[in-house]
Amino acid sequence: GNSSEEGGKGGVVTAKKDSTLDPANILVVVIAAVILVYASHRALRPPFVDMSPGSAEAEAYEEVAEAGEMQLQTTFVFVVVASCSLMLIFYFMSAMAVLITILFSFIAALALGALIYPYADAWTNNRFSKEMDIPWLGPIPQLFFVLLPFCGAVVLGWLLTKSWILNNVLAISLIIFFLTSVRLSSLKVASCLLILAFFYDIFWVFLSSNIFGQNVMVKVATGLDVPIKILVPLIFSTGSTLQFTLIGLGDIVLPGLLLCFAMRFDDSKGISLTSGYFSKTLIGYCIGLTICEVVVGCYHLAQPAMIYLVP
């Protein structure tokens, strides 16, 4: 969700109660839109891959993409698993915080490697494309081991400094990794997923305190310091400490699945991206997120963005 509450989310200082709407609130919308446009294009046509009909690379990519297709029953499992994970972290925060940090660090390093891999491969003229057979893991390209120290250094730098820039690099990598690994099989699945996410957000943000005595979502969000949010420094902030507005990755990833589906549909029907469903879905996303950011910036209330985005 989005936040501009005074205080900290995982050590992050957000806007003071007396501050007004900041340009950073609108910049969040622009950043989210740019990420989604890139991720949708990359999910449709990966960089430096021959996606012409009938090519061996296109068929291999399609086979992998179909394996990551989300079906109707998966959407219910997704929400149930997310809810159970929230509960586990809520009740066992201190025990799970270290484990989750290690897990996210590992996944973030892989995601960053996957993000830059095709560009590094092209830049080195495929010099490290040869695969090495590693016990338990199977064939791994040599480039993986070339990129590993760099990705590890970025994650280590974030762990040691908690830099908001490194946080954003890892968060963006995670978004693109997810959107290029998972896709929706139909509009019915997209509708089901987003409607479930809508009620999931409402329950855990607004109703959970009545049952559990505390706001479960806020406690988990403030207790975990992992790259699950994009931080944008406030331009008109006062004081010596940087203040931020933020957007949770779920508010980009879940609508992003629908955007990827819309682009794939437009492409399959030969419809221009500017006149098809993709552009209209993207405009709707930007309008919903802008409304959310205006509410956050003006009233400083923590808002689950999905309640604005899903409608």
pLDDT tens for the chain, 311 residues long, are 665 444 444 556 666 655 677 888 899 999 999 999 999 999 999 998 888 887 888 888 888 888 888 899 999 999 999 999 999 988 888 888 888 999 999 999 999 999 999 999 999 988 888 888 777 777 788 899 999 999 999 999 999 999 999 999 999 999 999 999 999 989 999 999 999 999 999 999 888 888 988 888 878 877 778 888 899 998 887 767 788 888 889 999 999 999 999 999 999 999 988 889 999 999 999 999 999 998 888 877 767 889 999 98
Selecting among 121, 225, 251, 266, the annotated active-site residue is 251
Write down the pTM of the prediction: 0.89
Contacts of residue 125, Cβ cutoff 8 Å, sequence gap at least 6: none
pLDDT at 252: 95
pLDDT at 6: 40
Selecting among 201, 225, 266, 267, the annotated active-site residue is 201
Residue 18 known to be catalytic: no
- Cα→Cα distances 35→2, 84, 122, 239, 255, Å: 17, 29, 22, 30, 12
How far is it, in rounded angstroms, from Cα 183 to Cα 71?
Answer: 9
Residue 133 known to be catalytic: no
How far is it, in rounded angstroms, from Cα 168 to Cα 227?
Answer: 7
Nearest Cα to 1, choosing from 170, 216, 218?
Answer: 218
CB atoms near residue 74 (< 10 Å): 17
- Cα→Cα distances 255→29, 30, 137, 261, 289, Å: 13, 15, 33, 10, 11
pLDDT at 237: 72
Q: What does residue 178 show for φ and ψ, rounded to 5 degrees?
A: -65, -45
Strands (DSSP E) found in 2-137: 7-9, 12-14, 69-70, 131-134
Nearest Cα to 75, choosing from 189, 180, 183?
Answer: 189
Angle at 208 between CA 253 and CA 88, to 5 degrees: 70
The DSSP annotation for 106-122 comes to HHHHHHHHHHHHHHHHH
pLDDT at 61: 82
